[in-house]
């Protein structure tokens, strides 16, 4: 009995141990699942718009993604911003397949929704330029054509590189020898055209043969094309699309570049000689007006033309064609300019208010030896600016007419704003006292009495502030104004615009004196003593000229008595050069202090 109880007790203990073991194992299993899940989550790839290494649109671990960009828990192929397509660069002529949109945009390319680049811009074809060809895409053909400076010739009907290369070979030049009327003759042409001659009918009586790089005058070809005609003359001429003067054989075919020293040299009439190996190659004046060499260069300033005694300095030694000088000599400003250069011409002084009334800016251009003139807009609405470009042949002058931005000059309150070329064409003048731009003092033409309003003591008011200084206003030098650098032309013969603009140049300045003693005696100036002197006069004339067609080289002053001889005022008024009127001046009777005014003007103004 006792033994039975012991067995049951052991059995219960065994069950407890088994249950405990299962619990431990279960907990360990659950813990391992949790750890594995977390580890798996950490190692799961996501789509990084940009990685911390700078790569775009990569499937990578989360910790490899740049947190400043988008992160999506899916493949990059399934996102909109990393969808792959075709990226083509028109500038470089390259098409790239399977390129993410973001990568394409980052490289300044154009993206299309076609992973295999099955778009017209990227279709392959034969790009023919001059005597060469390449089996490339359309965008690459544009790049190559631009590089070689030729028109685009993209052949979509050529579907293989082999056919494209064959097409290039068809552009090879040389001597095409054939029989005509049972005479062996020759034509300098391309291989393609020579082969096409076999299909022609008429007086063509034999098979043609093409000889690459040979001239029709090569002795081994045995043709009837000779160097000189029956009179012993040698012909020269121009060739379409080329700059140079070429020898011509008796069959009318072009030979090599005209070189008087090699006229009877058989080797020079045998095969094609390149321009760089011909006479005068690299000459600084491009063989202009050379009597013995026809190696012209259009960009250097010479071009093949038929000799003209009125245009060419000398007659060529052989033939009737010469490298004509395209440059301009002894132009209006006394200088020489190269073909294509442009420069500015002024009627008189320019800038800093020096442009006189009625003056204008002109752009001159040298084209094929002729000096052409293009006027800038009238009333100095445009000015002419010029600059130069440094080239391997020296400085190249360029000019152009641009808008004269004078309209906002008088509104600028600081020197920094005034001289900012991005804001206008203005200049900063210091030392201006009493001008209307500063003080708002303007002569009245509508006064019923016909006299000037009594001026008050002038301070830094008007545009630059009132009598009391504003702490928020920019700090400026006392008596400084911003005026146009290039004075605008004004229709001073019409009422309105000229009066409004020129009246800004009116200047009034109160000079205060202090008497010594009660019964007369001398007077001492105590305020604004600089007014009325030559310096003040010249400064206001400078301002007035800068405002437009307002004044000539001399100004007009009027003295107004302000009572008891204690103080006086001098009022500066703009005078048109050669004009017959004075802004703001009416029939007031006063003393004229400037004696240079012409008699007729004073009589018309009724101020004598």
Under 8 Å between Cβ of 344 and 361: yes
**Predicted pLDDT at 602:** 36
**Dist. CA 72–CA 53, nearest whole Å:** 18
First to last CA, the chain: 160
Under 8 Å between Cβ of 143 and 92: yes
Q: Which residues contact 534 (CB under 8 A, 6 or more apart)?
A: none
Degrees, nearest 5: CA angle 453-459-463: 90
528 and 459 fall within a common domain: yes
Domain annotation covers residue 498: yes
Q: How sure is the predictor about 579, in pLDDT bands with cuts at 50, 70 and 90?
A: very low
**Dist. CA 552–CA 201, nearest whole Å:** 83
Domain annotation covers residue 600: yes
Tell me the pLDDT tens digit for each residue of 148-204: 777 888 888 888 888 888 777 777 899 999 988 888 999 999 888 888 876 664 556
48 and 26 fall within a common domain: no
The predicted model gives 255-272 an average pLDDT of 95
152: three-class secondary structure by DSSP: coil
Domain annotation covers residue 89: no
The predicted model gives 301-328 an average pLDDT of 92
Lowest mean pLDDT among 57-71, 126-140, 430-444: 430-444
521 and 393 fall within a common domain: no
Domain annotation covers residue 310: no
Is residue 265 predicted with pLDDT exceeding 90?
yes
The predicted model gives 140-153 an average pLDDT of 82
Under 8 Å between Cβ of 107 and 91: no
Q: Is 227 exposed, middle or buried (0-12, 13-18, 19+ CB in 10 A)?
A: buried
Q: Which residues contact 211 (CB under 8 A, 6 or more apart)?
A: 174, 175, 176, 177, 218, 221
Higher pLDDT, 532 or 188: 188
Domain annotation covers residue 415: no
Q: Which residues contact 183 (CB under 8 A, 6 or more apart)?
A: 224
**Predicted pLDDT at 453:** 32
Q: How sure is the predictor about 69, in pLDDT bands with cuts at 50, 70 and 90?
A: confident
Domain extent at residue 71: 44-80
**Dist. CA 40–CA 32, nearest whole Å:** 12
Domain annotation covers residue 516: yes
441 and 504 fall within a common domain: yes
366 and 462 fall within a common domain: no
In whole angstroms, how far apart are CA 526 and each of 512, 513, 529, 566, 572? 6, 6, 7, 11, 21
- Mean pLDDT (the chain, rounded): 76
Domain end, chosen from 353, 372, 403, is at 403
Main-chain phi, psi angles of 18, to 5 degrees: -65, -40
Query: Per DSSP, what are the bridge partners of residue 402?
Result: 383
HEC string for 40-55: HHHHCEEEEEEECCCC
377 and 430 fall within a common domain: no
Under 8 Å between Cβ of 574 and 545: no
475 and 589 fall within a common domain: yes
Local structure of residue 240 (DSSP, 8 states):
T
Tell me the pLDDT tens digit for each residue of 12-32: 776 766 776 666 777 766 766
**Predicted pLDDT at 341:** 94
* 477 CA to centre of own chain: 37
Retrieve residue 533's tokens. Answer: 């002197």
The predicted model gives 321-338 an average pLDDT of 91
Q: Is 265 exposed, middle or buried (0-12, 13-18, 19+ CB in 10 A)?
A: exposed
Query: Per DSSP, what are the bridge partners of residue 86?
Result: 112
Retrieve residue 143's tokens. Answer: 């790049």
In whole angstroms, how far apart are CA 508 and each of 43, 275, 532, 569? 85, 74, 10, 7
**Dist. CA 327–CA 336, nearest whole Å:** 8
Q: How sure is the predictor about 566, in pLDDT bands with cuts at 50, 70 and 90?
A: very low
Degrees, nearest 5: CA angle 556-558-561: 165
**Predicted pLDDT at 200:** 61
Higher pLDDT, 403 or 300: 403
391 and 434 fall within a common domain: no
374 and 460 fall within a common domain: no
**Predicted pLDDT at 267:** 94
58 and 1 fall within a common domain: no
Domain annotation covers residue 188: no
569: three-class secondary structure by DSSP: strand
Domain annotation covers residue 195: no
Query: Per DSSP, what are the bridge partners of residue 364?
Result: 343, 373
Retrieve residue 327's tokens. Answer: 């440059």
**Predicted pLDDT at 5:** 60
Domain end, chosen from 136, 167, 198, is at 167
Main-chain phi, psi angles of 34, to 5 degrees: -60, -45
Tallying the residues shown for the chain, one arrives at: 608
Q: How do 507-515 and 556-561 pair as beta strands?
A: unpaired
Under 8 Å between Cβ of 48 and 66: yes
**Dist. CA 465–CA 145, nearest whole Å:** 62
In whole angstroms, how far apart are CA 322 and each of 97, 306, 330? 53, 6, 22
Higher pLDDT, 512 or 380: 380
Task: For the sheet with 183-190, list strands across it.
Answer: 183-190, 173-180, 209-212
Q: Provide the H-helix boundaries in 528-579.
A: 534-547
Lowest mean pLDDT among 337-346, 372-381, 521-530, 553-562: 553-562
480: three-class secondary structure by DSSP: coil
Indicate the number of domains in the chain. 5
Higher pLDDT, 218 or 54: 218
In whole angstroms, how far apart are CA 306 and each of 216, 303, 545? 24, 10, 53
**Predicted pLDDT at 88:** 83
487 and 379 fall within a common domain: no
Q: How do 556-561 and 591-592 pair as beta strands?
A: antiparallel
In whole angstroms, how far apart are CA 131 and each of 175, 210, 273, 439, 523? 15, 16, 16, 75, 95
Tell me the pLDDT tens digit for each residue of 80-101: 778 788 888 877 778 888 888 8
Q: Is 298 exposed, middle or buried (0-12, 13-18, 19+ CB in 10 A)?
A: middle
**Dist. CA 221–CA 593, nearest whole Å:** 98
Virtual torsion, Cα 60, 62, 64, 67, nearest 10 deg? 130
Is residue 266 predicted with pLDDT exceeding 90?
yes
* 337 CA to centre of own chain: 21
Under 8 Å between Cβ of 377 and 489: no
548 and 505 fall within a common domain: yes
Q: How sure is the predictor about 250, in pLDDT bands with cuts at 50, 70 and 90?
A: very high
Domain end, chosen from 167, 199, 218, is at 167
């Amino acid at each position: 009995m006792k033994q039975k109880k012991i067995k049951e007790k052991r059995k219960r203990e065994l069950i407890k141990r088994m249950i405990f073991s299962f619990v431990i194992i279960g907990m360990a299993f659950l813990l391992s699942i949790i750890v594995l899940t977390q580890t798996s989550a950490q190692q799961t790839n996501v789509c990084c718009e940009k990685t911390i290494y700078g790569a775009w649109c990569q499937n990578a671990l989360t910790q490899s993604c740049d947190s400043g960009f988008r992160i999506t828990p899916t493949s990059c192929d399934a996102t909109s911003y990393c969808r792959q397509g075709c990226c083509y660069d028109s500038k470089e002529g390259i098409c790239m397949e399977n390129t993410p949109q973001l990568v394409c945009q980052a490289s300044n390319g154009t993206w299309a929704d076609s992973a295999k680049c099955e778009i017209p811009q990227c279709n392959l074809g034969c790009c023919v330029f001059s005597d060469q060809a390449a089996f490339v895409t359309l965008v690459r053909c544009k790049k190559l054509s631009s590089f070689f400076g030729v028109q685009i010739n993209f052949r979509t009907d050529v579907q293989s590189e082999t056919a494209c290369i064959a097409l290039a070979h068809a552009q090879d030049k040389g001597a095409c020898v054939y029989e005509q009327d049972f005479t062996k003759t020759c034509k300098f042409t391309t291989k393609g055209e020579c082969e096409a001659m076999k299909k022609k009918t008429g007086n063509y009586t034999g098979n043609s043969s093409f000889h690459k790089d040979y001239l029709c005058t090569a002795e081994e070809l045995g043709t009837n094309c000779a160097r000189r005609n029956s009179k012993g003359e040698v012909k020269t001429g121009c060739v379409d699309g080329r700059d140079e003067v070429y020898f011509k054989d008796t069959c009318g075919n072009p030979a090599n570049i005209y070189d008087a020293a090699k006229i009877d040299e058989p080797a020079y009439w045998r095969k094609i000689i390149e321009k760089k190996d011909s006479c005068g190659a690299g000459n600084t004046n491009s063989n202009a007006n050379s009597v013995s060499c026809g190696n012209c260069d259009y960009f250097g300033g010479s071009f093949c033309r038929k000799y003209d005694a009125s245009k060419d300095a000398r007659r060529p030694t052989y033939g009737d064609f010469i490298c004509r000088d395209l440059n301009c000599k002894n132009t209006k400003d006394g200088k020489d300019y190269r073909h294509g250069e442009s420069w500015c011409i002024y009627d008189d002084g320019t800038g800093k208010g020096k442009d006189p009334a009625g003056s204008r800016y002109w752009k001159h251009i040298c084209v094929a030896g002729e000096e052409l003139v293009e006027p800038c807009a009238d009333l100095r609405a445009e000015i002419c600016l010029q600059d130069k470009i440094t080239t391997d042949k020296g400085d190249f002058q360029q000019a152009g007419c641009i808008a004269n931005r004078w309209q906002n000059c008088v509104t600028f309150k600081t020197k920094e704003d005034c001289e900012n070329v991005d804001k206008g064409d203005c200049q900063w003048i210091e030392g201006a006292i009493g001008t209307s731009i500063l003080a708002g003092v303007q002569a009245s033409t509508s006064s019923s009495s016909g006299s000037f309003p009594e001026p008050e003591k002038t301070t830094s008011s008007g545009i630059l502030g009132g009598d009391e200084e504003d702490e928020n206003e920019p700090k400026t030098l006392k008596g400084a104004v911003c005026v146009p650098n290039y004075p605008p032309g004004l229709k001073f013969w019409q009422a309105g615009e000229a009066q409004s603009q020129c009246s800004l140049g009116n200047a009034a300045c109160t000079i205060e004196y202090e008497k010594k003693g009660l019964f007369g005696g001398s007077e001492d100036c105590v305020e604004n003593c600089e007014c009325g002197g030559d310096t003040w006069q010249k400064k206001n004339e400078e301002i007035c000229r800068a405002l437009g067609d307002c004044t000539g080289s001399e100004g007009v002053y009027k003295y107004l008595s302000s009572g008891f001889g204690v103080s006086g005022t001098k009022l500066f008024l703009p005078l048109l050069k050669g004009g017959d009127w004075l802004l703001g001046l009416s029939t007031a009777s006063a003393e004229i202090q400037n004696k240079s005014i012409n008699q007729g003007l004073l009589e018309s103004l009724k101020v004598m």
